[in-house]
Structure 1
C-alpha cells in the first residue's frame, strides 16, 4: 500500500479577520492640553501596570519560568540583515600576527555588491573587530563614482556595522565597499583564532592561526554579510612568516614577498565558487602535509610533524569515501582539492569548510597501537560526515539556520553509507538505531525539546540548534522518508534537489517539492498528496509518538499520542505515522514498507494474520516507539532470540522507555532483557550495548537507594556469562565487533568492587606504575583499567595517571586518561581536577573542558562537587570558555545524572534564576535539565517501590 492515497488534514480556515472603519463625520480634533493630559495619564498607567506586574506575578520556586514568558524575551539579537544589498564578491587580505605574541590581525576587504532595492544604508555583520573609519569607502562599479559616507556606527547588540550614505544606492547598480580593520586572534576557538602545541623535539610552543566561522563567526574575522543565504565568491590573500604555510578553500594562485615586512610572504589564492560566509576558511601554521593524488584531485592531510604517521587511516579512507559520494550523487566534487587539517584546539569535532576541512586532532589522528576501536570508528564517521557536507551544506545550503537539519541531518544519515562502503565488515548500518534514533529520542522525549524547524533570531538561539535534534532526529526522519518512498525514488529525488539548487540555497519546502515530483513520476505517491503534508508533522512539531497496538481477535487497534517521560503531560499532537509490521505467520523482517498509515488521526484498526506474536515498525524505520498489549509483549519476550539483532535492540529500548514513562510494567522489560542476556551465548554487541545503556538510567537513579544492592546482583547475574568470558586480552587485529564488545563488557564488569575484573585491573595498573607490564594495558582496556585503579586507589594512582596525560603525545590516550581521572573516590582530588579545567597551565585544553566536567559529574561522589563548582565559578567558566560549541550547555546537562530529589531540584531552579541574565546559549540546556530532574523525582515516587519489590522477588534465581 506504501504511501497513503488521501490527505486528511485539519481545516485551518476558521481564522477571524478584523477591520477598522473610518467614521463618516470627519477627523477627530484634540486640543494640546487634552493631548498632554492623555500622555501623562498613559505614563502613569504604564508605571502602575509595571508595579502591579512586579508585585503580583507569582513566583513558584519549584516551577520553571512559563514558556510563553521565557520565549518572549529575545537576547543577544542580531537582527537579520536587510535584503536590499546582495554580496557578489569579496577581495579579502588578512595578516595574522602570531610570532609577535600580540595575537592580532590586520585586514582589508573589498566587497562588490548588487543593489536589489534602493537604500542609503549599508549594514554588515562584525563582532570584536575595530573598523578604521577613515578607510571606509563606497563607489559605483560602472563609473568608479564615489558615494559619500555620512555616518558610521557600531551596533554591538545586533553585531552590525552600519554605514549611512549621503545619497541612495540605486536599484540594479553594483557598488564596491572598501574597509580596513583590526581584529583579534582569540583563544575561544571562534572566528579567526589562535591554537598551539609543544614541539616534541625542541619543547618550544608552536602557534597556529585557524578559523571556525560556523554558524555566526565569520564576522569575527572580517566585515561581511554573515548569513547563509548571502552567497558570494571569495578571493583570499593571506600574509605569513616564510617559515610557515597558509591554506584556504582554494589552491594558491601565486606567492610573493611582502614588501614592507622581512621574511614574510603573501599567498594569493584562486577565486572560490559561490559559497556562504560560514564556509570560508584559512589556516596559518607550520603543520606538515601528507598527500594523496586521487582522480586528479589533491587530497592532503596536515598535522603536527610527529603525528603524521597517525594520519594514515584518514588518508586511506578519505579519498575512497569522497569517490563513493561522487558516484552516489552523480555529481563530481566541484573543487580542485581537499585539505584536511588536524588543529590542536578545536571546538567541534570537525568543520566542513569547502576545500579546507578542519578537525579536532582526536577525530582525524589514529595510532593502531594506542587508539581504541571507538577512536577508529570516530575517524571514519566524522570524516564521512564532513565529506557528505561537501554536497549537503556546501553545494546546496539552507537559506537560514531554522533549517539546519537540511545539512546536518543529511550528513549524519549519509555518513553510514560512506563508512559502510569502506568498512563493510563493521555492519555499521545496524548501529543507526542505537547511535541516532535512540540518541534523538532521549532529547525528544522531553517537553522542553524543540521542533526540527523553528524560528531563530539570536546567535544564542542559533547555537542551540546544534544538538541531537538537528543531527540525529534529522537523520532519523530522512531514513524514514527513504523507507516509505523507496531507495530508488529517494535517491533520484536527492540528486534532482542537488542539481536544482547547486551553488544556491534551499528550504525544506524545496526538498519536499522535489521529492513529491519524483514520487509522482515514479508512481510511489498519490497525485493528490505531497511529501510536505506528511513531513511537516515531523519537522514543525516537537516530539514523537508512541503507537499503541492492541489485538482484538483478528484485528489490531492502533492509536498514537506524544511520548514523554512525564506521565501527566497531555498534548493532542498527531503525526502521519507509517505502519509497517510482520507476524509469526507472515514473517518478513526485511519488508519495512508501510502497509497502513495513521494520517494525523488518533487511531484506526486493521486485520492482521498472526498466531502468537506480531511486530510493528521492524528495525525502527519509523521515528516512533511501539507499545503492545501484555499478551503480545509476553510472546515477543518468549521469541526474542529468533529476531534480528536490530529488532532485539529495538524491543529492549522501547520497553525500557515505556516502563520509565509509566506506560508499561517493569516486569516486561526486565524479563525480556534477562531472557536475552542469559541465552545470548554469542554475546551480541548491539542488543547488549542497548541493554547496558538503558540500565545506566536505573543504575544512576537507584545508586543511593536500598534497592541498589539487589539491582547490582541482578546485573551481575544476568550478564555473568559475558563477564566471565570476556577478558582483557585485547588486540587491534581482533574484529571490530569483538573489540567493541570487550570495551563495553569490562567497563560494566569492573563497576563492582572485589571482583576478578577489579583485581586484574589494579594488578596491571600497579605493574605499569612500577615500570613494567605496559604491554598488559591495551588501547581498548586502558580506560577501564585506569578508572578502576584510580577509583580503588588514592593520590599516587591519580598523580601517576595525570603525569601520563601530560607526557603522552597520543591525543587518543589523552582523552582516555581525562575520562579516567574523574573516577577518583577522594572528593579533594575531584575538586582539584575541576579546578584544572579553568587553568591554562594545567595542560588541559579548553576543548576538553566538557570531558573533564562530565568525568566528575558522572561519578556519584563527584556530582555535588561538580554542581558546586559550576555554581561558584559560573562567571569565570563563561568568560573562560565563551559562548560557542554548547560547552556550558553540556556541563549543565551532565549535572542531572544522579539528581532525583526535591532539594536538588530547588537548588537547580535557584541556580537558573540567579543566573538568568547570563544563561545565553545554555538556556535550553537548563530547561532540559530541570525537566529531567522533575522526571527523576516522579520516577522515584511512581516506580521505585515496584522495581524494588521486583528485584527482591527475583534475587534468588534470575530465570523466567
Structure 2
C-alpha cells in the first residue's frame, strides 16, 4: 500500500499513513444472517452489503480475519458479476475482489458474501462463552466483542469507525434460546426443525465496532420507568441480581437525555452479563455487554466498593450511547473522545445520583492519580495518539485515553464553568449526530458556547505527551512559577522539556479560589494577597504537579484545615510523586504523612495508604529491617484509626464511614496489628465452619489477605480454604474476591499453586491476572512470577493472542514488581528475540516503572533508613 493520496494498482489508499481500506466504495447498509452452532462452535453467515461506488473501480476490498469465504458476487444495474480474482492479505486483514468490468462511479451495488467461521474462545469477534448451569453442567452462549477491530472476525465488513452504515440482522438459533441484537425484534419465524429465525429492525447508521448479537439461554429483569424498556439479562438463576443496574439505567438514560438535550434514539436498552469478557463492559448501541461482576449486584454479599464500581461502569457505558455511538471519532487516534468523556460523565452523574459518595473527592485519588502515574513515564503517549496499524489500537485503551482524557475535560469544565461546558457538549452532539468527528470539533463547540479559544488552550494537552511540574519560588507576596516536564524516572532531557503547557493555576487563598489565572510560558509571576496561606491547583483540577519549598510544604501540612479534601489528597499525591522523581527527599514525604495522624477523611487516608504502598513497593527488595520499619510506620498510622472506628459494620454507618473502616482495618492488618489480625482470623474461622456471612463484604478481601499473610506457615492451610471460597462462592463477586487474594501467601507450595491455577484451566482466560496479581506483594512471589512467565510464555501467547487486548496487562503484572536495573536487563534479554506485537507499549511502560523505582531507591535508601531510625521505627524492639 502506498502513502497518503498515492494509489496502488488496486486503487487503495492510506489516509495519513494508516492501514485503511480503499476509498473507492462506501457501505450504506448490511443485511446479515447468522446461524451459530453451539455444539461444533462454528457459524454460517451471509451478508449483503449495499455500496455506493465513489470512484470508477474494478475492485472491492473488505476486512476479514479467521473466516472462510465461500462465495462472493456483486450486483448492480440489474446484473450479477462474479470476481475474476480474489486476494487475501493477512497482515492488513483484507480480502480484495477484482472484477473484469469497471464499476462506474455513482453506481449503487450490492456485494453478497457467504462464509463460515469459528466461535472462538478468545473473547473477540463472534465468540463462545461458557458457564456452569444450576445443575453443574457446562453450557455455552454465542456473543460478540467487536471493538476495536474485531467485527471482521464475525463477518466481512468495512471495519473502520468512519464507515458507518445501517444494519439489518437475522439470527437463526434453537427455538428455546434467546436472540438479541442492537435493535428490537421485527419478527420471529419457526423453521420447523426446532430452530427459529429472529429478524431485528433496521438500526440507525453506526460503526462496525458497535454491532452486537447474542444467542444463549437467558432470563431477565426489567425496568419500565424510562420511555423505552430496559432489561438486564443473565444466565438463569442470576437474573435477579440485575435489578440494581436496570433501575440505575432508567434514571441514567433520563438524566442523560435532559443533560445532552438529545433523545436516546433506539427503541430499547438491553444489558447482558457475559461469563467470558475481556474488558469491563462494551457500549454496543442498545445492547451493552458486561463482565458479570460489573453488572450484577447482590446487596447481601457485595461490598460498597463493588456497588460503586457497577454504578460507574453502567453510567460510563450509557454515556457512550451519545458520546461514541451517536457521535463517533473519525479514527482510533480520537478514542479519547469516546472514553475520556464517558469516564468524566460517569463521575458527573454518580455525583448527582449518589452525593453521599463524594465522588469528586475520590476522583483525585482514582482517575486523576491514575492518569498522572502513567503519563509520568517516558513511554507514555499523547491523548491523541497516532495509530496506523491494527496491532497498535488495543494498546491505547489505557489510562491516558480514559483517565487523562477525563482529567483534561474536568480541567476545562472547571475553567469554563460546568453549565457552559455542558452547553458546548449539547451543541457538539446536535451538530454531529450520526456522524464522525475530530478533537477539533469538540473544541469548536466549546469555543462557540464559551466565547473563548478553547482549541488554543487545550490542543497542547491532547497532542503532547506528559505534563509539567510547577516550581514555586516565593519572594514576598510574589510567587515565581516555572514549568518543566515531569518524569518519574527523574532524567528529563533538554529535548524532552520543550513543551509549554497552558496552565490553569487555580490559586486558593483565604479569600477563595481564583480559577481564571493562567499562563502558557516557561515562567510567570503572580501576586498573592496573603503569604500566610496559599495553594496552587485548588481541588487538584489542573493536570500538573506542584513543587513547594520544604518550609511551605510543612506549613500547608499544618494548615490542612484550610484545605479541601481534594487539596489535602492532592498535596500528598504531589509530594509522593516528587519524592519518587528526586525533587524532594523521601524523608520529607514521610514527615508529611506522619503529620496527618489526626486526619478524619477517608479520601485523604486512602492517599496516605497509597503513598506508603508506593514506598514499600519500591523498597520491596531492600533489607528486611527497612521493610519492617516501613511496616511499623504504616501500623503506627493506621492502628489507632482502626481501633477508633472499629471493624463492626452497622446499618447506621454512612457509606464513607464504611469505606474508612474497611481501609483502616486492611492497612492495620497488613502491617501486623495484633488485634486486627486476631479479629480477621476469628472471622475467617467462623466462615470456614459454615457461617457464610461471618465476614462483612466490605472487608472480605482484607480478611483473606491477612490470614494468608499471617496464618501458620505463611497461610499454608488458609490457601486451600480461600481457594474453596473461590470455587463455591455464592456470586461471581464472592468468587473473584477470593481469587484475587490467593497470591498473598508467601508459602512456596501456595505460590506454586497460585501460578498453576492461572493456566491449567481452573480459571477463565479473562481471569488469569487475578490469582497471580497478589504475588507482587512479596519478593518470593515476584521472583516466582517472572520465572513462571518465562517458562510458560508460549502458552500465555496462545491463551491471550497478541493481537487482542489482555497480553499487555499480563506482561505488566508479571514484570512490574521488580525494582532494579538488573531486573530490567533480565527482562530485556528474555524479550530480545521475541515479537513484541500487541504489547510493546505495555512492556516499555513496565520497564520505565521499574527504572523509576530503581533510581528512587538508589537515591534515597540511606535517607529512608536514617528517617526510620530517627523516628524509632527501625529499632530492634519494634521488629
Verify same fold: TM over 0.5: yes
Q: Deviations over 1:428-449 (max 9, x none)?
A: 1222121111101110000110
Query: Are 1:785 and 2:703 an aligned pair?
Result: yes
Indicate the structure whose relative CO is greater, using CA pairs within 8 Å and at least 6 residues apart: 1
* Residue matched to 2:694: 776
| Contact 1:122 1:163 (8 Å CA) reproduced | yes
What residue in structure 2 maps to residue 587 of structure 1?
511
In structure 1, C-alpha distance between the alignment counterparts of 2:817 and 2:112, rounded to whole Å: 56
> Residue 58 of structure 1 corresponds to which residue in structure 2?
none
Q: Secondary structure at the match of 1:93?
A: strand
Looking at structure 1, the residues matched to 733 and 173 of structure 2 have their Cα atoms a distance apart, in angstroms, of 31
Report the equivalent of 1:149: 83
Q: 1:290 to 1:711 in 2, by over 3 A?
A: same
Residues 1:694 and 2:625 aligned together: no
Work out whether 1:853 is the aligned partner of 2:778. Answer: no
Per-residue CA distance 1:583-609 (angstroms, 9 max, x = gap): 55x431xx35222x222x211112221
Residue equivalent to 1:443: 374
The residue that corresponds to 2:807 in the other structure is: 888
Task: Select 2:655's aligned residue among 722, 727, 736.
Answer: 736
Within the candidate set 551, 559, 563, 2:482 is matched to: 559
Aligned-residue offset at 1:709: 2.5
Say whether the 8 Å CA contact 1:612–1:632 is kept in structure 2: no
- In the alignment, which of 179, 194, 212 is matched to residue 145 of structure 2? 212
Structure 1 residues 303 and 479 mapped into 2: Cα distance closer, same or farther (>3 Å)?
Answer: same
Determine if the alignment matches structure 1 residue 825 to structure 2 residue 763. Answer: no
2:118 to 157, 163, 184: 184
Counterpart-to-counterpart distance in 1, 2:390 and 2:53: 26
Residues 313-357 of structure 1 deviation map (CA, whole Å, 9 limit, x = unaligned):
112211001111111001110101000001111111000000000
Corresponding residue to 2:100 among 163, 166, 176: 166
Does residue 434 of structure 2 align to residue 434 of structure 1? no
Q: Secondary structure at the match of 2:114?
A: strand
CA distance in 2, matches of 1:127, 1:499: 36
2:461 to 519, 523, 538: 538
Structure 2 CA distance for partners of 1:692 and 1:498, relative to 1, 3 Å: same
SS in 1 for 2:670: coil
TM-superposed deviation, 1:506: 0.3
Structure-2 residue corresponding to 1:33? none
CA separation of 1:924/1:492 partners in 2, compared to 1, >3 Å: closer, same or farther?
same
Distance 1:220 1:957 in 2: 59
Q: By how many angstroms is 1:307 displaced?
A: 1.1
Alpha-carbon distance between aligned partners in 2 of 1:251 and 1:732, rounded to the nearest angstrom = 42
Give 2:7's aligned residue. Answer: none
Unaligned runs of 5+ in 2: 1-13
Cα distance in 1 for residues equivalent to 2:97 and 2:829: 44
Change over 3 Å in CA distance of 1:489–1:764 after alignment to 2:
closer
Corresponding residue SS for 2:328: strand
Deviation string, structure 1 residues 141-182 (Cα, Å, up to 9, x no partner): xx3222341101211111111111112221111110000000
Asked whether the 8 Å contact 1:78–1:157 carries over to 2, the reply is no
Give the alignment's TM-score, normalised by structure 1. Answer: 0.87
Give distance in 2, aligned partners of 1:129 and 1:895: 33
User: Is 2:860 the counterpart of 1:926?
Assistant: no
Q: How big is each residue's C-alpha offset from its partner over 1:474-517, in whole Å with a ceiling of 9 and x where there is no partner? A: 00011111122222221111111101110010011111222222
Whether 1:194 and 2:128 are equivalent positions in the alignment is yes
Aligned-pair distance for 1:667?
3.8
Check the 8 A contact 1:545/1:625 in 2, yes or no.
yes
| Cα distance in 2, alignment partners of residues 403 and 811 from structure 1 | 34
Q: Closer, same or farther in 2 for the Cα pair 1:97/1:150, shift >3 Å?
A: same
Map 1:547-946 → 2, pairs under 5 A: 547-570=470-493, 571-582=496-507, 584=509, 586-588=510-512, 591=513, 593-595=515-517, 597-599=518-520, 601-676=521-596, 678-680=597-599, 682=600, 684-703=601-620, 704-705=622-623, 706-731=625-650, 734-753=653-672, 755-771=674-690, 773-791=691-709, 792-793=711-712, 794-840=715-761, 842=762, 844-883=763-802, 886-915=805-834, 917=835, 919-946=836-863
Q: 1:203 to 1:664 in 2, by over 3 A?
A: same
Secondary structure of the 1:920 match is coil
Does the aligned pair in 1 maintain the 2:477–2:529 contact within 8 Å? yes
- CA deviations over 1:176-204 (Å, ceiling 9, x no partner): 0000000110111100110121111x222
- Asked if 2 retains the 8 angstrom alpha-carbon contact of 1:637 and 1:671, the reply is no
> SS state of the match for residue 397, structure 2?
coil
DSSP 3-state at the match of 1:822 = helix
RMSD of aligned Cα (Å): 1.9
Tell me whether 1:103 sits opposite 2:41 in the alignment: yes
1:731, CA displacement in angstroms?
Answer: 4.7
Report the CA distance shift for 1:454/1:574 in structure 2 as closer, same or farther (over 3 A).
Answer: same
Secondary structure, counterpart of 2:491 in structure 1: coil
SS of match in other structure, 2:121: coil
Task: Tell me if structure 2 keeps the 8 A contact 1:752–1:758.
Answer: no
> Structure 1 residues 733 and 218, CA, compared in 2 at 3 Å: closer, same or farther?
farther
Deviation of 1:400 after TM superposition, in Å, equals: 0.3
TM-superposition CA deviations, 1:390-433 (whole Å, max 9, x none): 00000000010011000000000000122122212112122212
Cα distance in 1 between the residues matched to 2:536 and 2:727 = 52
What is residue 270 of structure 1 aligned with on the other side? Answer: 201
Aligned positions of 1:5-154 closer than 5 A: 79-98=19-38, 101-132=39-70, 135-140=71-76, 143-154=77-88
Q: Distance in 1 between matches of 2:491 and 2:163?
A: 45
* C-alpha contact (below 8 Å) 1:750/1:788 kept by paired residues: yes
CA contact (8 A) 1:483 1:592 kept: no
Determine the structure 2 residue equivalent to 1:252.
185
1:581 CA displacement: 4.0
Say if 1:850 and 1:887, in contact at 8 Å, map to a contact too: no
Maintained 8 Å contact 2:632/2:873: no
Check whether the contact 1:150–1:166 (CA below 8 A) recurs between aligned residues. Answer: yes
Aligned positions of 1:367-406 closer than 5 A: 367-406=298-337
- Contact 1:795/1:829 (8 A) holds in 2: yes
3-state DSSP of counterpart to 1:750: helix
Pairwise mapping of residues 433-582 of structure 1 onto structure 2 (< 5 A)? 433-520=364-451, 525=452, 530-570=453-493, 571-582=496-507
- Alignment CA distance shift 1:592-1:292 (3 Å): farther
